[in-house]
């Protein structure tokens, strides 16, 4: 981005200042190439900064015009995905509502761009958790939908031996996010994420891929053990329960209040559901 600024790509050529009074004129193709070069650099700067947790370079005087559309051109999709990322995070849930909805609306993407879309989704989820905001059910539905698509595309890319840079990180981060959400729906997707991760690792056979699989296995096992430990705590509470004839259990009401209540109107399902759902 600094190089782009230094050579003036962030401004239209006819608006840039030159040391000479008569700059060499550029043709339409060269002008379009300058615009595309800048907007690709701008997009990658935002995407990589979000993925690796680094500060991005924001130029204050961008005057470069949008690129023109072409047939079978993926550059506008790259720019559209980068534009999903908020310019700043105010800590408001509205920022994430807008970002998640915009991300969900970006559709009909090539396989590699589906993985970029998943990376943005993971970034938004991390920022949402860091902001101490409850992850709403509408957010979870979008996240799970994006993960499902990304896992399919990871398998497709690896089957065609196309080592896109996040073909291994997408299924690994999927496992992490699914365990973090910790709902029935998310945990049901963990096996699919593990299958995709193992498949990619078997195709490429790198040490990094094997390490990712082992780490994912450890995370899943630890999550399972935590749930077993929690179940054991509840089991202790019921192990020496009172007898049926115990007076404590003689809950009778003359108006038959409890008899009129079903599971649905008591709302036990919501009561015992995961804490990510907003009320």
Q: Per-residue pLDDT tens for 28-57?
A: 889 999 999 999 999 999 999 998 888 899
Q: Of 15 and 197, which is predicted with more confidence?
A: 197
Per residue in 105-135, pLDDT (tens digit) is: 998 899 999 999 999 999 999 998 888 888 8
pLDDT at 196: 96
Average pLDDT, the chain: 85
pLDDT at 165 > cutoff 80 = yes
Mean per-residue pLDDT for 53-66?
Answer: 89
Neighbours of 173 (CB within 10 A): 25
What are φ and ψ of residue 150, in 5° steps? -65, -40
Flag whether pLDDT at 17 surpasses 70. no
Q: What is the per-residue pLDDT for 279?
A: 37
The tokens for 69 are 């559309």
- pLDDT value for 16: 54
Q: What is the mean pLDDT of residues 201-228?
A: 93
Delimit the domains of the chain by residue range.
1-66, 85-234+256-279
DSSP E strands, the chain: none
pLDDT at residue 87 in the model? 84
Per-residue confidence (pLDDT) for residue 236, from 0 to 100: 82
In 3-state terms, what secondary structure has residue 269? helix
End-to-end, the C-alpha distance of the chain in Å comes to 43
143 or 242, greater pLDDT: 143
């Amino acid at each position: 981005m600094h190089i782009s600024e230094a050579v003036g790509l962030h401004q239209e050529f006819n608006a840039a200042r030159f040391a000479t009074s008569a700059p060499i004129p550029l043709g339409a193709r060269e002008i379009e190439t300058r615009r595309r070069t800048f907007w690709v650099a701008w997009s990658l700067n935002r995407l990589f900064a979000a993925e690796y947790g680094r500060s991005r370079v924001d130029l204050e005087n961008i005057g470069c015009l949008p690129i023109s559309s072409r047939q079978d051109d993926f550059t506008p999709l790259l720019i559209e995905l980068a534009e999903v990322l908020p310019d700043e995070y105010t800590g408001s849930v509205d920022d994430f509502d807008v970002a998640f909805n915009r991300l969900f609306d970006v559709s009909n993407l090539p396989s590699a761009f589906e993985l970029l879309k998943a990376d943005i989704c993971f970034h938004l989820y991390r920022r949402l958790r860091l902001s101490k905001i409850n992850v709403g059910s509408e957010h979870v539905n979008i996240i799970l939908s994006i993960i499902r698509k990304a896992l399919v595309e990871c398998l497709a890319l690896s089957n065609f031996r196309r080592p896109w840079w996040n073909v291994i990180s997408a299924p690994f981060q999927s496992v992490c996010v699914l365990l973090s959400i910790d709902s029935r729906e998310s945990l049901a997707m963990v096996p699919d994420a593990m299958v995709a991760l193992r498949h990619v690792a078997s195709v490429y056979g790198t040490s990094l891929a094997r390490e990712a699989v082992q780490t994912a296995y450890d995370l899943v096992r630890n999550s399972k053990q935590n749930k077993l430990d929690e179940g054991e705590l509840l089991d202790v509470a019921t192990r020496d329960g009172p007898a049926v004839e115990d007076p404590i259990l003689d809950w009778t009401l003359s108006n038959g209040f409890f008899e009129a209540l079903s599971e649905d109107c008591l709302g036990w399902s919501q009561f015992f559901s995961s804490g990510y759902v907003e009320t």
